[in-house]
């Protein structure tokens, strides 16, 4: 089930956290993974420990040139890109709107929103030519519910959900499926950008009364990245312990 033998996947922000778990899971299913991150040393280390033909890739998703270059390198090395997982993201400054500077706002938009645009645009013509592709965008429950003190983050993650639905419809007849995933609180380094009070606020709202694990997100991404995900597109999947029911 969900075999990815012979396929190439690019996973952004895969040097750690949820992206690393996704990279490991897709590789276990047979994919060659381009472990792409700002942190090339961390990405290369993950790729080394995955083994096989997987490789680390330097990528700054805020730059369209960097995204184009990363996709070109993945194609040059493996001849194809079947899967793109847009996972890289930042929490931004945890503070009320009136304490957010222009720079705080622009930074979270550049990474979480423009980054998804840059990477999708870099890969889409290749996928259209091959009439096959799976794209999974990691949004957040914050994009559905809105978390206080995270206006920029919540806005960008809502944007990722809308972007996914729109793009999916543009390529729906071309063998390309585009879906998003909305995790609730997952214990990774991103939480170091938030206060304990902010984390408790988010965890208290989860009916399962616990945080999720990166592996639990990787499991749903694995299905959405597979050939079996063939009649599912433009969807947004919650992995939130029941926090949102819509
Ligand atoms: N952890 C959570 O609670 C949670 C909840 C919902 C959604 N998410 C989303 O899941 C994704 C992964 O989160 P995580 O918790 O694993 O984060 P993390 O901070 O642990 O890891 C993020 C990775 O992205 C990389 N990165 C940051 N900016 C980049 C850029 N410009 N170009 C390329 N790589 C860049 C970092 O170097 C890092 O390796 C993010 O999009 C995040 O918003 C996380």
Residue range 154-172, pLDDT digits in tens: 999 999 999 999 999 999 9
Quickly state the pLDDT bin for 6 (edges 50, 70, 90).
very high
pLDDT above 90 covers a percentage of the chain that reads 94
Whether 12 lines ligand 1, by a CB cut-off of 6 Å, is yes
Residue 171 lies in a domain: yes
Between the CA of 140 and the centroid of ligand 1 the distance, in Å, is: 11
pLDDT of residue 1 exceeding 90, the answer is no
Whether 60 lines ligand 1, by a CB cut-off of 6 Å, is yes
**What's the confidence (pLDDT) of residue 193?**
87
60 neighbors 50 (Cβ within 8 angstroms):
no
> What CATH number should be reported for the domain holding residue 227?
3.40.50.720
pLDDT of residue 109 exceeding 90, the answer is yes
| Residues found in the chain | 246
For atom 32 of ligand 1, the residue with the nearest CA is: 60
Residue 224 lies in a domain: yes
For atom 38 of ligand 1, the residue with the nearest CA is: 13
**What's the confidence (pLDDT) of residue 159?**
98
**What's the confidence (pLDDT) of residue 194?**
86
Residue 85 lies in a domain: yes
The total number of structural domains that make up the chain: 1
Residue 2 lies in a domain: no
pLDDT of residue 77 exceeding 90, the answer is yes
Domain limits for position 226: 8-239
Residue 64 lies in a domain: yes
Q: Which residues of 228-239 are buried (b: 16+ CB within 10 A; e: fewer)?
A: ebeeebbbbbbb
Between the CA of 87 and the centroid of ligand 1 the distance, in Å, is: 6
Residue to substitute in 20, 188, 211 for testing ligand 1 pocket (most ligand atoms within 8 angstroms of CB): 188
Whether 188 lines ligand 1, by a CB cut-off of 6 Å, is yes
Supply the pTM of this predicted model. 0.98
Give 141-144's long-range contacts (Cβ < 8 A, gap of 24+).
141/182, 141/183, 141/184, 141/238, 141/240, 141/243, 141/244, 143/182, 144/182, 144/236, 144/238, 144/244, 144/246
Per the prediction, the chain carries an average pLDDT of: 97
Quickly state the pLDDT bin for 62 (edges 50, 70, 90).
very high
DSSP letters for 158-169: HHHHHHHHHHHH
Cα–Cα–Cα angle for 173, 31, 87, rounded to 5 degrees: 70
pLDDT of residue 106 exceeding 90, the answer is yes
246 is catalytic: no
Residue 3 lies in a domain: no
Whether 238 lines ligand 1, by a CB cut-off of 6 Å, is no
pLDDT of residue 41 exceeding 90, the answer is yes
pLDDT of residue 122 exceeding 90, the answer is yes
């Amino acid at each position: 089930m969900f075999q990815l033998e012979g396929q190439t996947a690019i996973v952004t922000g895969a040097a750690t956290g949820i992206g690393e778990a996704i990279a490991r899971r897709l590789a276990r299913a047979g994919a060659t993974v381009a472990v792409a991150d700002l942190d090339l040393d961390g990405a290369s280390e993950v790729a080394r420990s995955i083994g096989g033909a997987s490789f680390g890739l330097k990528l700054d998703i805020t730059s369209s040139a960097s995204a184009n270059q990363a996709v070109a390198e993945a194609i040059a090395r493996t001849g194809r890109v079947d899967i793109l997982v847009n996972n890289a993201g930042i929490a931004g400054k945890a503070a009320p709107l009136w304490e957010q500077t222009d720079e705080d706002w622009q930074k979270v938009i550049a990474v979480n929103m423009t980054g998804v645009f840059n990477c999708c645009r870099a890969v889409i013509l290749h996928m259209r030519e091959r009439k096959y592709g799976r794209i999974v965008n990691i949004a957040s429950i914050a994009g559905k519910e809105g978390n206080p003190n995270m206006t920029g983050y919540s806005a960008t993650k809502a944007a990722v959900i809308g972007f996914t639905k729109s793009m999916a419809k543009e390529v729906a007849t071309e063998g390309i499926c585009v879906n998003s995933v909305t995790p609730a609180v997952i214990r990774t380094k991103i939480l170091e950008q938030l206060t304990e009070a902010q984390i408790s606020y988010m965890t208290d709202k989860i009916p399962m009364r616990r945080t999720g694990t990166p592996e639990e997100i990787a499991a749903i991404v694995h299905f959405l990245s597979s050939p079996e995900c063939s009649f599912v597109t433009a969807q947004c999947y919650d992995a939130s312990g029941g926090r949102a029911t819509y």
